[in-house]
Amino acid sequence: MGLQGDLETISFASVIDSLARDEKSGVLKLEQGGVERRLFLQRGKLVHAESTNKAERLAKVLLRRGICDARSLEQAKREARHAAKGFVEILVANGCLTWEKAAEARRACLEDIVFGAIRHRDAGAFSFDEGLIADGAWDSGAPIRVDIPFLLMEMARREDEMKRVSGGRLQGSTCLVTGDLEFRINLVRLLASDAPDGSEEGRAAQLAEGLEAMRSRLQSDNPGRRMTSAAVLRYILSRALDRVQ
């Protein structure tokens, strides 16, 4: 039987930091309030992560960061159902994504999953199944190897910044703090009519897509509050303008 325990007696950060220091390989499984997360380690480095929380999935990250548009993503998903390929590989083959951008999105997705585990209100339980993970097991075209101690320091910084920026009004909105600064800058440019697509229709479509992604994320993080697009837009702009200036 592998390592297992209760996250009320030992924190998730302590567990994964210990695994990193011992250069362990295997799968760390977390169960927190109905959300299941799996973190894959290879010789003490994070190489992949999965979550049942839809807001922490790779497709959502691609949309939130503006790396891929919704139409291309849905088409790739449809093709993936009938092919022995993942939707990321299809996006690259269709010219909608580069492997460099795919690796960037995979790392951002991994960070969101780790941050979600750190901030989860329900402590939950963990288990670790040790075993070597083969090189290239996860999307060989966009491999990532994340240093865990550095990542934990970054997560602590993100938590501090979130508390400072949100002032306690909205909880869990990582996408509005550090993770999606590029998107927020692009949103301001859209409103300033400085978008790559010069057509009014193009600007409107991009703005609507971005707002819906943000609204969905905020609603997921704040189930007790009703998030309207107007409220989300005011919130995003107030912080985006501060950052851009």
Digitized pLDDT (tens) for each residue of the chain, 245 residues in all? 578 999 888 888 889 999 999 999 999 999 998 899 999 999 999 999 999 998 889 998 898 888 888 999 999 999 988 887 888 889 999 999 999 888 888 988 998 899 888 888 677 899 999 987 765 555 567 788 888 888 888 888 777 766 665 554 444 443 443 334 444 444 544 454 444 445 555 656 666 666 666 666 666 665 655 666 666 666 555 544 444 44
Tell me what pLDDT residue 84 has.
77
Domain boundary pick from 158, 179, 200: 179
pTM value is 0.64
- Are residue 115 and residue 79 in the same domain, yes or no? yes
Tell me what pLDDT residue 113 has.
92
Q: Tell whether the torsion through CA atoms of 18, 21, 24 and 28 is positive or negative.
A: positive
Contact indicator for 83, 97 with CB cutoff of 8 Å: no
Please list, in sequence order, all residues whose beta carbon lies within 8 angstroms of the beta carbon of residue 38, skipping any fewer than 6 positions away.
27, 28, 29, 30, 49, 50, 51
- Are residue 108 and residue 134 in the same domain, yes or no? yes
- Are residue 148 and residue 212 in the same domain, yes or no? no
- Are residue 41 and residue 161 in the same domain, yes or no? yes
- Are residue 135 and residue 67 in the same domain, yes or no? yes
Closest CA to 79 of 88, 90, 93, 68: 90
DSSP classification of residue 132: P
The pair of structure tokens assigned to 189 is 């440019």
Domain boundary pick from 179, 197, 220: 179
- Are residue 33 and residue 66 in the same domain, yes or no? yes
Domain boundary pick from 179, 207, 232: 179
Collapsing DSSP to helix, strand or coil, 192 comes out as coil
- Are residue 86 and residue 108 in the same domain, yes or no? yes
Tell me what pLDDT residue 31 has.
94
Closest CA to 12 of 112, 120, 111, 107: 120
- Are residue 158 and residue 49 in the same domain, yes or no? yes
Cα separation, 218 vs 144, whole angstroms: 28
- Are residue 167 and residue 193 in the same domain, yes or no? no
- Are residue 13 and residue 101 in the same domain, yes or no? yes
Contact indicator for 115, 158 with CB cutoff of 8 Å: yes
Q: What are phi and psi of 6, to 5 degrees?
A: -105, 130
Domain count, the chain: 2
- Are residue 114 and residue 23 in the same domain, yes or no? yes
- Are residue 146 and residue 120 in the same domain, yes or no? yes
Q: Which domain holds residue 230?
A: 180-245
> Which residue blocks in 171-244 are alpha helix, DSSP H?
181-191, 200-221, 229-244
